[in-house]
Amino acid sequence: MSDEVRQLADDFHDYTMSVNPSWAHMLGDYRFADRFEDASRAAEDADIARSREFAARAAAIPDEGLSAQDRVTRDVVAFQASSGADVAACRLAELAVNPVFGVQVDAPITVANASLPTVEVAEALVPKLDGLGRHLRQVAARHREGVASGRTPAAFAVRETIPQLDAWLAKPLDDDPLLETAPPPEGLDVPAWRERLKAVIESSVRPALRELRDTLADVVAPHVRPDEHCGLAWLPDGEAIYATELLASTTTSLTAQQVHDLGLEQIAALEEEYRQLGGEVLGTQDLEEIYARLRTDPALRHDDPAEILAACDTAFARAREAMPRWFNRLPKADCAIKTTDQGALGFYYPPAEDGSRGGVFYVNTSDPSAWGRFEIEALSYHEGIPGHHLQLAIASELTDLPALRRHTVFNAYAEGWGLYTERLADEMGLYSSPVDRLGMLTMDSMRACRLVVDTGMHALGWGRQQAIDYMLANSPLSLSSVTPEVNRYAVWPGQACGYMIGRLEILRIRREAQQRQGERFDITAFHDAVLDSGSVPLGVLDDIVRTRLP
């Protein structure tokens, strides 16, 4: 690899880890284990400037003399640095009250998954929690700045976040969720260490939580945007901000209207699949009846967390048995399944590079009835095997590539692959029954609706209720599922569009490779080409596959 490109990648990776210390810790990089993210405007200004410098360095490296992997590395830095700077310049921190993935939800999960392999790393958790307190105070300050500048979050986001903060503050100190850490290492005086953790939670984290809670309730709440104006479309600079978010999230130049229209096309195509499978499974081809049955039939809902976990185990076992026929490269790290009562219904954490923790597929079993029996397998394949686990674990094991390439995650590539594998699982024969295949369609409906609803709110001026009504009318998702989905799109513009756009692009790239190669086409070679360069922008992925499968 070119020395100049390698140095650029290493410098950018080191910088990225330094400003994202929690993510670094998750990856097994403990250089910044005593830090938490800096959410101040000054840090944001500095990050924009540094990112632009890295983008300029990448742009200054010509193609001449570069290998194919050199060009990929350069282009990854260029896109990530420039798009990251552009997003940071949108100042979304002033709007970012998030009841779905906010710090009040994410911080306990992050701490619980932070490996503690040595006494030094365990001791670093004490100043890290002090840094969390500082982070929370900075978040409160950013919201006060937003009120002063007329940029405020939507009412529902504040309305739903305040009770989450209240619930945390109401817990006895001994039961604080931040005390639920990874297993401590040998040689640590655990009782004394836990007392130090409790002391910093009491002196730093809890007061900061209270400050954030009071800022939202007393300063922000009187100035929130109504829920019917929850999208970026209602901000003076909303159109430009959303275009920036779409570019970063989809890594394509698709406009909001083009994304919206793609969503409408996908919804129409799914209707015919529902009619065919609904007739086989439910005895009806009436869309409204199919959707209603999937929403309300008690026989199609779970009522026991143990059943959910068992269904995930079964799905993983089927996938493990079939994978060698579809993939040449398989990850060394395994993927565990754990239950949680926080966050989304399912989500994945990648393995630590030092081997201290494998991949983990988290299943939220706090409300078993939220899970349709038909949904378990599709989500297991997406979040775990052969979805995010193969993708992220394989990337972390590409030791011949710079660390940046092993750990960078582009939303459209990552979520596009996860969604691609839901349909790939059908090709692989992994779904246990026609009912489980209905779950595949249900997941597709959610991701297709995202294209319509996300662009609807942020580009076309839809209100929150209009978005909810659209998803209820065009998918089998229940109101209890649709509402948090719409909430998520409203507070995280563009991100949800990466799933279906990524899947459609991966399928296009595969289809064109099949057309080029004809009988020479080998699905295992295609999957190698997609997975063994790490996460990349979709345009770069197209170039990689064209080179590998001419």
**pLDDT by residue (tens digit) across 326-339?**
999 999 999 999 98
C-alpha dist (Å) from residue 241 to 83, 91, 234, 415: 12, 9, 11, 22
pLDDT reading at 343 higher than 70: no
Q: Domain limits of the chain?
A: 3-231, 245-503
Strand partners, 361: 337, 348
Rounded-to-integer distance, Cα 204 and Cα 130, Å: 6
**Cβ–Cβ < 8 Å for 418, 383:** yes
Report pLDDT for 427: 97
Sheet containing strand 346-349, strands side by side: 335-340, 359-364, 346-349
pLDDT tens digits for range 244-274: 999 999 999 999 999 999 999 999 999 999 9
Handedness of CA 156, 162, 164, 167 (dihedral sign): negative
Displacement of CA 305 from its chain's centroid (Å): 24
Strands 346-349 and 335-340: unpaired
Report pLDDT for 429: 96
- Classified as helix, coil or strand, 338 is strand
Phi, psi of 65 (to 5 degrees): 85, 0
State which H helix or E strand residue 200 sits in.
Answer: helix 190-200
Residue type at 146 in one-letter notation? G
Residues 505-509 have a mean pLDDT of 98
pLDDT reading at 481 higher than 90: no
Report pLDDT for 100: 86
Higher pLDDT, 370 or 548: 548
**Cβ–Cβ < 8 Å for 335, 385:** yes
**Cβ–Cβ < 8 Å for 278, 439:** no
* Average pLDDT, rounded, for the chain: 95
**Cβ–Cβ < 8 Å for 92, 163:** no
Long-range (24+ apart) CB contacts under 8 A made by 272-276 are 273/441, 274/438, 274/441, 274/476
Report pLDDT for 346: 85
Residues 41-55 have a mean pLDDT of 98
pLDDT tens digits for range 439-451: 999 999 999 999 9
Place of tokens 């992220």: 392
pTM: 0.91
pLDDT tens digits for range 98-119: 998 899 999 998 999 899 999 9
Long-range (24+ apart) CB contacts under 8 A made by 45-49 are 47/19, 47/84, 47/85, 47/88, 48/85, 48/88, 48/89
pLDDT tens digits for range 157-199: 999 999 999 999 999 999 999 999 999 999 999 999 999 999 9
Would you state the structure tokens that stand for residue 167, as one six-digit string? 């619930």
